[in-house]
Structure 1
């Protein structure tokens, strides 16, 4: 293989991948279940081979001692925050909460991570994420309930600080299509916001993560819309990224977004399973470039086979040479 290509998967296993680009560095997290690990790399294709540090280990017992899932690192007003799901290991879904860590250092590999408790959501839930819009900070998470079958729907609330929400938790998406109810539960989870072309795209994962038909759905709102109004969000009736039997990619989902080092390309980071009915333990981290439709919506294409060489993100060749 030449030096200007790479192949998926980037990390195996590697579930619930999250990438955050800050200046010339990529920060990467995946579900480790019993700890929070953080990677950093100057290249997107090399995120799993970058420096790695365990930034937090849970107490032996208590409300956040077990089932550490779906960590996300964000930079808000110059400080670093990590959001992750956890529970006590005994209470099941009804005890799941989203917890927050804060680090005021310029480099998240330095300084101290301070526990800020859990976000005061109205419902038990998981997969919390944050975004800024029109000068306000918002929190979106997957809350448990009956929609009509048992599972999760997406709630949004305004934040007064990075670990506190205020006002109503507004249900903006619930499972209603057959493709959102595969695997034995009705699921909307793993929300992540993508801003472009005067629009807000809230991408989420649908159905159970162990189902072949785990896939990505999309809500769209205009840049001027009130994001706390459910009518502001238009829901796509079909998945926008789904399995490819031909390419041997099943259950693609729980994604994040980033850009190439030079900022000219958009990339989706997601996990998938390499064989039908392979189970969630086989989830691995993959990345691929995506484009845009004429109407301004994202075009994620088809998940690529792991046998296909992928061109390095634009600007990575220069980054690699600088770091050699």
Structure 2
């Protein structure tokens, strides 16, 4: 009886520990504005977030453990020049055997929207935590703007960003001749239209991100409003997979936000997102930033991770932002 008495509590303890290791709660990173995660073929996630004065890169096999991972600073801005300050919204990609980081930068001597552009770094090392990052300079966009993102579809490399057009920010697209050069086909797909896309200070569409659906549509999901507004939320465009993605007429605009603030769950200003999957590719995950207290402006944005599903019509259902108390199975 004594051996049974000892064995049973140990089994119970092991089960409890196993359950704890298999679940997580948000946030996954307390200081995590503009989060982005890229799952590479080496089975590691490469994560980035806005740091303002540098580019940091995390490498992990568990996105829910970012707080315990020490990032590597892969680049710091020069003392002067067009990308000398305000380093925002970095995203990392692996394209044709090389690594690329796209980020927003501005000129310290003329800081402001008029000098904000998207810049590119390149690294030919197999492991982006190693090797040399080469500055490929500013992307040749038609407008000054922010939040550059790329995607490859049907053998074509596309670039998305948020250009400053007059007194508002839009969603624009172009094809690329290489990972740092746009072709002369840039077009604007959407400008702020609905009340939830506007604030008293500015009307903003930003952070556009491509998402391929399981059926006959592809999507561009963007952030609307402003990071300082609690109503900051996600909007969506949809196009048929066989359409011309450069044509604004190909894209259907959704009149309501597809992911928005939840006062009940104390999630404010959810936005500036990315998409990834579980390591086995079977689960789809939305990564985004949000605040747990209202009226904080752009401060205290933490990175969150949340599972999403596909509806029967092949469109994403992002659900309601999870509360910080909710326990979920890890990706």
TM-score interval for Structure 1 and Structure 2 normalised by the shorter chain:
over 0.9
Whose strand proportion is higher, 1 or 2?
1
- Tell me what 1:131 maps to: 151
Within 2, Cα distance between the matches of 1:48 and 1:139?
31
Which structure 2 segments of 5+ residues have no match?
A: 1-18
TM-superposition CA deviations, 1:223-255 (whole Å, max 9, x none): 111111111111111000000000000000000
Query: How far is 1:174 from its partner?
Result: 0.5
**Contact 1:181-1:207 within 8 A present in 2 as well:** yes
Query: How far is 1:4 from its partner?
Result: 1.7
- Normalised to the residue count of structure 2, the TM-score between the two structures is 0.92
Which of 33, 40, 45 is the equivalent residue of 1:22?
Answer: 40
- Normalised to the residue count of structure 1, the TM-score between the two structures is 0.93
1:82-231 matches, within 5 Å, as: 82-89=101-108, 90-146=110-166, 150-197=167-214, 198-231=216-249
Within 2, Cα distance between the matches of 1:251 and 1:225?
33
Query: How far is 1:48 from its partner?
Result: 4.0
- Tell me what 1:299 maps to: 317
Query: How far is 1:50 from its partner?
Result: 2.8
Which of 30, 51, 71 is the equivalent residue of 1:32?
Answer: 51
Query: How far is 1:51 from its partner?
Result: 4.3
Measured on the aligned residues, the alpha-carbon RMSD in Å equals 1.1
**Contact 2:28-2:63 within 8 A present in 1 as well:** no
Whose helix proportion is higher, 1 or 2?
2
Within 1, Cα distance between the matches of 2:176 and 2:242?
19
**Other structure's SS at 1:248 match:** coil
**Other structure's SS at 1:240 match:** coil
TM-superposition CA deviations, 1:45-76 (whole Å, max 9, x none): 22343341000001112110100000000011
**Mean Cα deviation higher: 26-35 or 160-169:** 160-169
Which of 45, 48, 66 is the equivalent residue of 2:85?
Answer: 66
Within 2, Cα distance between the matches of 1:120 and 1:7?
41
Within 1, Cα distance between the matches of 2:266 and 2:297?
14
Within 2, Cα distance between the matches of 1:48 and 1:250?
22
- Tell me what 2:270 maps to: 252
Which of 76, 99, 105 is the equivalent residue of 1:57?
Answer: 76
Which structure 1 segments of 5+ residues have no match?
A: 314-324
Within 2, Cα distance between the matches of 1:48 and 1:180?
32
TM-superposition CA deviations, 1:194-216 (whole Å, max 9, x none): 11223211000000111011000
- Tell me what 1:275 maps to: 293
**Contact 2:48-2:56 within 8 A present in 1 as well:** yes
**Other structure's SS at 1:46 match:** helix
Whose Rg is larger? Answer: 2
